[in-house]
Structure 1
Amino acid sequence: MELSLLSLFMLGVVALTQTRAGSHSMRYFHTAMSRPELGDSQFITVGYVDDQQFVRFDSSSESQRMEPRAAWMDKMDEEEPNYWEEQTQIYRKNAQIYRRNLETLRGYYNQSQGGLHTIQRMIGCEVSAEGSLRKGFYQFAYDGHDYIALHTETLSWTAADTGAENTKRKWEPEKSIAESYKAYLEKECTHWLKKYLVMGKDVLLRTDPPSVRVTRYSGPDGEVSLRCRAHGFYPAEISLTWLRDGEEQLQDTEFIETRPGGDGTFQKWAAVAMAPGQEDRYSCRVQHEALAQPLSLRWEPEASSVWVIVGVTAGVLVLVTAVVAGAVILRRRNSGREAWKGPIRQQEAGPGGKLLQPQSRDECGEFSQGKGCVWG
Structure 2
Amino acid sequence: RTPALALLLGLLSFFTLPCLHSRRVLDTVVSEPGPGLPWYSRVVYVDDQVIYVYTSGMQRAEPRPVWMAQNEGPEFWDERTWWAQRHQKWFKASLNTLGQLYNQSEGFHIIQMKYGCDLREDNTTWGFYQDSYDGRDFLTFDTESMTLGAADIGAQITKRRWDAEVFDNQQWKRYLEERCIPWLRSSLEYGKETLQRKVRPTARVSDRSSHDGLTTLSCKVSGFYPQDITVTWLRNGENRQQETYSEGILPSGDGTYQTWVAMEIDPKIKAHYSCHVEHESLLEPLSISWGKEFVCVSVFLSYDPAGSQKHGSTGPSFLPMWPERDV
Q: How high is the TM-score relative to the length of structure 2? A: 0.86
Unmatched segments (≥5 aa) in structure 2: 301-313
Amino acid at match of 1:119: I
SS at match of 1:186: helix
Residue 60 of structure 1: how far off its partner (Å): 1.6
Taking a change above 3 Å as real, the CA distance of residues 263 and 3 of structure 1, as seen in their structure-2 partners, is farther
Matched, 1:24 2:21: yes
Tell me the equivalent position of 2:160: 169
Taking a change above 3 Å as real, the CA distance of residues 189 and 146 of structure 1, as seen in their structure-2 partners, is same
Residue 264 of structure 1: how far off its partner (Å): 0.9
1:183-194 to 2 correspondences below 5 Å: 183-194=174-185
Tell me the equivalent position of 2:97: 104
Taking a change above 3 Å as real, the CA distance of residues 102 and 163 of structure 1, as seen in their structure-2 partners, is same
Tell me the equivalent position of 2:303: none
Report if aligned partners of 1:76, 1:83 keep a CA contact under 8 Å in 2.
no
Tell me the equivalent position of 1:309: 296
Instruction: Note the aligned Cα RMSD (angstroms).
Output: 2.8
Tell me the equivalent position of 2:304: none
Distance 2:315 2:212 in 1: 59
The one of 98, 101, 114 aligned to 2:106 = 114
Amino acid at match of 2:316: G
Matched, 1:277 2:277: no
Tell me the equivalent position of 1:66: 61
Distance 1:367 1:159 in 2: 23
The one of 196, 200, 208 aligned to 1:217 = 208
Residue 175 of structure 1: how far off its partner (Å): 7.6
Distance 1:36 1:59 in 2: 10
Residue 183 of structure 1: how far off its partner (Å): 2.1
Report if aligned partners of 1:136, 1:186 keep a CA contact under 8 Å in 2.
no
Distance 2:152 2:167 in 1: 23
Report if aligned partners of 2:6, 2:110 keep a CA contact under 8 Å in 1.
no
Residue 99 of structure 1: how far off its partner (Å): 0.2
Amino acid at match of 2:12: G
Report if aligned partners of 2:23, 2:117 keep a CA contact under 8 Å in 1.
yes
Distance 2:177 2:209 in 1: 52
Distance 1:273 1:239 in 2: 19
Taking a change above 3 Å as real, the CA distance of residues 7 and 67 of structure 1, as seen in their structure-2 partners, is farther
Tell me the equivalent position of 2:45: 48
Report if aligned partners of 2:205, 2:290 keep a CA contact under 8 Å in 1.
yes
Report if aligned partners of 1:19, 1:50 keep a CA contact under 8 Å in 2.
no
Distance 1:294 1:148 in 2: 41
Tell me the equivalent position of 1:12: 12
1:1-376 to 2 correspondences below 5 Å: 8=8, 12=12, 16-17=15-16, 19-20=18-19, 23-35=20-32, 42-61=39-58, 64-77=59-72, 80-111=73-104, 113-129=105-121, 131-133=123-125, 135-173=126-164, 176-278=167-269, 281-300=272-291, 308-311=295-298, 350=316, 365-369=323-327
Report if aligned partners of 1:210, 1:231 keep a CA contact under 8 Å in 2.
yes
Report if aligned partners of 1:156, 1:172 keep a CA contact under 8 Å in 2.
no
Report if aligned partners of 1:18, 1:51 keep a CA contact under 8 Å in 2.
no
Residue 158 of structure 1: how far off its partner (Å): 1.3
Residue 176 of structure 1: how far off its partner (Å): 4.3
Taking a change above 3 Å as real, the CA distance of residues 165 and 59 of structure 1, as seen in their structure-2 partners, is same
SS at match of 1:177: coil
Report if aligned partners of 2:272, 2:290 keep a CA contact under 8 Å in 1.
no
**Alignment deviations for residues 56-89 of structure 1 (CA, whole Å, 9 cap, x no partner):** 000123xx10001112112133xx5510011111
Taking a change above 3 Å as real, the CA distance of residues 291 and 36 of structure 1, as seen in their structure-2 partners, is closer
SS at match of 1:195: helix
Taking a change above 3 Å as real, the CA distance of residues 350 and 97 of structure 1, as seen in their structure-2 partners, is same
SS at match of 1:286: strand
Report if aligned partners of 2:7, 2:135 keep a CA contact under 8 Å in 1.
no
Report if aligned partners of 1:292, 1:312 keep a CA contact under 8 Å in 2.
no
SS at match of 2:213: coil
Distance 1:3 1:74 in 2: 33
Distance 1:123 1:281 in 2: 46
Distance 1:10 1:69 in 2: 22
SS at match of 2:155: helix
Distance 2:199 2:151 in 1: 40
Distance 1:124 1:36 in 2: 26
Distance 2:269 2:147 in 1: 53
Amino acid at match of 1:58: T
Distance 1:131 1:138 in 2: 20
Tell me the equivalent position of 2:310: none
